[in-house]
Amino acid sequence: MLKRIISALAFIAIVYAATPACAESAPDPAWVGTWAASPMQAEGLSFHLFSNVTMREIVHVSMGGEKIRLRFTNEFGTDPLTIEDAHVALSAGGGATEPGTDHAVTFGGASWFNIPPGGAIFSDPIAIGVAPLSNLAVSFYLPAQIMRAETYHAFADQDNYVADGHSPSAPELAQSDKLSSWYFFDGVDVAGGADARAIVMLGDSITDGAHSTRNANRRWPDVLAERLSQDSRLAHVGVLNEGIGGNRVLNEGAGPSAISRTDRDVLAQSGVRYVMVLESINDIGRLAHVQVPWDDITAAQLEFGLKQIADQAHEHGLKIFGATLTPYGGAGYYSDKGEQVREAVNDWIRTSGTFDGVADFDKATRDAANPTHFNPAYDSGDHLHPSDAGYKAMGEAIDLALFAK
């Protein structure tokens, strides 16, 4: 969190206004997250050297509102990131926008801005009405600039678009290419009322939605968001998906470890009141082929790591819920030793009292006749990730009473 504060102060010092700043007499609203993605460093084929292009990124919000703000990130950049002429509109599907919904986005009144390395900034408030469970198209222009490192979220499970030239306000991007990731953009907040609050889902690829239907928003956090929107008592609860495929609790894997990103991906999120954590299966999977000493992980070590996250949440006044690990029998990195650790960790999640509540995803998805494996109806085919039906079973297994005020 301290890093974000420092970055915000740095932004104030370096932002350059292309248009005069407008005085704001009204107090800032109470902001609550409605969509989020966890930043990572783009490497290999994911590094694109974007220059003189328009990006259009599609996101699926949870809670609706009459006013929003956007968060852009240069978390892993080593050079300042310049973004010009950002726009937001309601998505019409694919890379198109709904007519009459395009809104220019400003930052302290500016139509362009620099984000320092390691920084993230919020836009000015945008008066665009957003319905619950709707899709937004966020577009922005990247001028020619030095970018030796890029910040993105690897697995969007969503088509995004990039086109040569400057066209953020175009209803459709001409001759655009599809991207499978979100770049430089990691959050949407809504102006919430007194009852508005957010849940952060901290997890790995199973939270990120791997093997769910692309562009269909069938991840288990999406299922939960739909259930919340249909309950009048909980319709003002936002769901923030901070899953990273390959993520681990204690050690670096794909993206920063769960422990090292708790400040950024949980505590720094707008209006967060609750967190649910589903992590450990990638730590456990290393036991099938231990290559370095710290991969030979124990249940006690994983429990210690998860307790660190729970303690941080409690110290900041949040409720935290533990999710049991889904079966992985038959997966490529399955081992008998790993299964023993999984079962021990699940027993600890259910019985230790560390968490304020439990979502028993293991029970909801396992095959009753072969409990180390998924119910065949819930298996995507790799025996590690759920199918759409499996994600639905997970989202429906969560007791909504956990999120009562």
What pLDDT was estimated at residue 144? 95
- What are the DSSP calls for 156-196, one per residue? -SS-EEEEESS-TT-SS-TT-EEESSEESEEEEEEEE-TT-
Task: Confirm whether 27 is domain-assigned.
Answer: no
Contacts of 223 (CB under 8 A, 6+ apart): 391, 392, 394, 395, 396
What pLDDT was estimated at residue 27? 61
What pLDDT was estimated at residue 47? 87
Please state the pTM of the whole predicted model.
0.92
Q: What is the DSSP letter of 110?
A: B
Per-residue 3-state assignment (H helix, E strand, C coil) for 204-252: CHHHHCCCCCCCCCCCHHHHHHHHHHCCCCCCCEEEEEEECCCCCCCCC
Last residue of a domain, one of 165, 188, 211: 188
Residue 294 structure tokens: 């710290």
Question: Are 228 and 130 in the same domain?
Answer: no
What pLDDT was estimated at residue 289? 92
pLDDT digits (tens, 9 = 90+) for 4-43: 433 443 433 333 333 333 334 456 679 999 999 999 999 8
Question: Are 11 and 156 in the same domain?
Answer: yes
Question: Are 315 and 344 in the same domain?
Answer: yes
Last residue of a domain, one of 141, 162, 188: 188
Classify residue 332 by burial, with Cβ atoms within 10 Å: 0-12, 13-18, 19+: exposed
- Which residues make beta-bridge pairs with 141? 54, 84
Containing structural domain, residue 8: 2-20+36-188
Last residue of a domain, one of 188, 208, 241: 188
What pLDDT was estimated at residue 161? 98
Collapsing DSSP states into helix, strand and coil, what is residue 8? Answer: helix
What pLDDT was estimated at residue 44? 83
What pLDDT was estimated at residue 26? 54
Question: Are 299 and 396 in the same domain?
Answer: yes
pLDDT digits (tens, 9 = 90+) for 203-235: 999 999 999 999 999 999 999 999 999 999 999
What pLDDT was estimated at residue 253? 76
* Gap between the Cα atoms of 128 and 132, Å rounded: 13
Question: Are 148 and 291 in the same domain?
Answer: no
User: With a cut of 50, which residues of the chain have pLDDT below it?
Assistant: 1-25
Q: Give the number of domains in the chain.
A: 2
